[in-house]
Amino acid sequence: MINTKIITLLMAGMLYYLTGFAQLAQNIRGTVTDQLLQTPIAGATVVITGTDKKVVADSLGNFRIPNVAAGTYTLLITCINYADAVASNIVVNTGKEVVLTITMETKVRTEKEVVITANSKKNRPLNDMSVVSARAFTVEETQKYAAAVNDPLRMVTGFAGVASADDGGNDIAIRGNATTGLLWRMEGVDIPNPNHFSEAGGSGGGISILSSQTLANSDFLTGAFAAEYGNALSGVFDLKLRKGNNEKNEYALQAGFLGLNAAAEGPLAHKGSYLVNYRYSTLSLLNKMGLDLSQGTTNFQDLSYNIYLPTKNKGIFTVFGFGGLSSDNQKIETDSSKWEMQDDRYAGKFIANTGATGITHTIPIDNQTTLKSALAYSYTANSYNEKYVESSKSNTRTG
């Protein structure tokens, strides 16, 4: 009880401290790049629609709009020889700088007539090879959809043709296909199932390992996959990670029902950046404080990161990955007088661990060609130990 009061006072004090030093306005900055070549676009004009705030990107494609009041905005980006780009639903909070990466498509012109149509293609997939049955989703959508709880799997159950397969987990069925046919990718590399408490061979689990602190806009596909998604049977999550702040260090601490979340990001040498997020189960924390809330104990923790390392002449390197440890311990009732059903004689421990780490290298070969290479390592382990009591003798089974 004393520990609980101490933690409550510390968190209240921290919130008061952070509130006292929060800024009333914040910066919007980022980089404008060519969608195909991933090279910076100099001279692009960035405008906050409905306001008089306008800036021009420098020779490296970087732009900065200072002193933007908290709220939700739409950016219009224009440049000669490029189609207009629109970035909508940009949320500005007073405590955190907004860092964006905006891509623009080359515009085809004719000598006799030029017709330009500005259109916010919010749902258009990031992968140009995905033409049908594909759409992009934003991090904000995982927070706004009912019952999504920052989980991409739960969020897409609101899309046509996608249904939840289990109320207790986040498994999904796409167009009636098996829940095990979903392919997960991160930064262009196939990864194992990024969910806690996942069964062997499954595509979902109980809680997503991925944090909204590290995800960027990503793609979700439900059919007619491009050739690069050759291992997909029912659907694809093609996930992208955002870059950290490359100008100043920022930290975030969030306490919620699922876990205690800590994130850090900041600059590295040569305009590089790091982004790290760690989460620890709230139930595990309460259990360690002596609060026994149930017959069993649910434990999980996870880590995700993205390190962006640009070089002068050797291209851009990124190091990314995630890892999750989860276990579910069901205690046994040793007093036979309290047994009410057969399940009271059983105890078990389920363990599901998974993770992946990788490195990518992107380098432009000429004005029309870019080479991207990737190398990754992944790991998955599942185990289940079961114990049951029969009279005064106990037996153990492992599966």
**Domain range annotation of the chain:** 23-108
The confidence score (pLDDT) of residue 2 equals: 47
Between CA 259 and CA 256 the distance in angstroms is 5
Chain segment 70-95, per-residue pLDDT in tens? 999 999 999 998 999 999 989 998 87
Residues with Cβ within 8 Å of 4's Cβ and at least 6 positions away in sequence, in order, are 289, 291
Residues with Cβ within 8 Å of 372's Cβ and at least 6 positions away in sequence, in order, are 188, 360, 361, 362
Rg (the chain; Cα; Å)? 24
The confidence score (pLDDT) of residue 123 equals: 72
The confidence score (pLDDT) of residue 388 equals: 73
SS (H, E, C) the chain: CHHHHHHHHHHHHHHHHHHHCCCCEEEEEEEEEECCCCCECCCCEEEECCCCCEEECCCCCEEEEEEEECEEEEEEEEECCEEEEEEEEEEEECCECEEEEEEECECCCCCCCCCCCCCCCCCCCCCCCCCCCEEEECHHHHHHCCCCCCCHHHHHHHCCCEEECCCCCCCEEECCCCHHHEEEEECCEECCCCEECCCCCCCCCCEECCCCCCECCEEEECCCCCHHHCCCCCEEEEECECCCCCCCCEEEEEECCCEEEEEEEEEEHHHEEEEEEEEEEHHHHHHHCCCCCCCEEEEEEEEEEEEEEECCCCCEEEEEEEEEEEEEEECCCCCHHHCCCHHHHEEEEEEEEEEEEEEEEEEEEECCEEEEEEEEEEEEEEEEEEEEEECCEEEEEEC
The confidence score (pLDDT) of residue 127 equals: 79
Chain segment 218-277, per-residue pLDDT in tens? 999 998 888 888 878 899 999 999 999 999 999 999 888 888 999 999 999 889 999 999
Between CA 3 and CA 357 the distance in angstroms is 37
331 pLDDT higher than 80: no
Instruction: Summarize the confidence of residues 119-142 as an average pLDDT.
Output: 75
The confidence score (pLDDT) of residue 371 equals: 93
The confidence score (pLDDT) of residue 287 equals: 78
Between CA 97 and CA 373 the distance in angstroms is 31
The confidence score (pLDDT) of residue 3 equals: 53
Between 14 and 247, where is the model more confident?
247
Chain segment 22-74, per-residue pLDDT in tens? 457 899 999 999 988 888 999 999 999 999 999 999 998 999 999 999 999 99
Between CA 173 and CA 157 the distance in angstroms is 9
Does the pTM exceed 0.85?
Answer: no
Between 2 and 181, where is the model more confident?
181
The confidence score (pLDDT) of residue 11 equals: 55
**Which CATH number describes the domain made up of 23-108?**
2.60.40.1120
Nearest to 83 by CA among 50, 53, 28, 121: 121
In the chain, % of residues over pLDDT 90: 46
Mean of pLDDT over the chain: 84
114 pLDDT higher than 90: no
* Calculated CA dihedral for residues 38, 41, 127, 376, nearest 10 degrees: 20
CB atoms within 10 A of CB 210: 25
In the chain, % of residues over pLDDT 70: 85
User: Band of the pLDDT at 18, cuts 50, 70, 90?
Assistant: very low
Lowest mean pLDDT among 6-20, 174-188, 327-341: 6-20
Cα distances (Å, whole numbers) of residue 233 to 180, 201, 206, 226 = 8, 13, 22, 12
User: Band of the pLDDT at 347, cuts 50, 70, 90?
Assistant: confident
Q: Taking the CA of residue 146 as centre, how many other CA atoms within 13 Å lie in the half-sphere pointing to its CB?
A: 2
